[in-house]
Amino acid sequence: AQSVTQLGSHVSVSEGALVLLRCNYSSSVPPYLFWYVQYPNQGLQLLLKYTTGATLVKGINGFEAEFKKSETSFHLTKPSAHMSDAAEYFCAVSAVTGNEKLTFGTGTRLTIIP
């Protein structure tokens, strides 16, 4: 079985401040992990992904995430928030259970305070 927990359904940060969005996963096998961003009334866009190898993954728009097996976490960070980062962010996990489905977290809405 696989599952994803995103801590904090709403996160607010000031423009220029650090962005930290939390994601913890459960998987019985080594997971593949993904972060997606969704702007209002649009589809999801892939920010970054972890499959194997280097545990620090860099993505688009200055975001990065670190896979920590011991903590079963894959938190998303950005050093300096920009107004355009306001959106909803989804963490997802894929584990080899015979059907390779993606399981999504419930999302974190990021608000940027000017």
* Least Cβ distance, residue 68 to another protein (angstroms): 19
* Least Cβ distance, residue 9 to another protein (angstroms): 7
Contact 88, 76 (CB under 8 A): no
Judged by CB under 8 A, the residue of 32, 63, 67, 74 near another protein is 32
- Is 12 an interacting residue with respect to another protein (CB under 8 A)? no
Binding site for another protein (CB under 8 A): 9, 32, 34, 36, 41-46, 49, 51, 90, 94-96, 99-102, 104-107
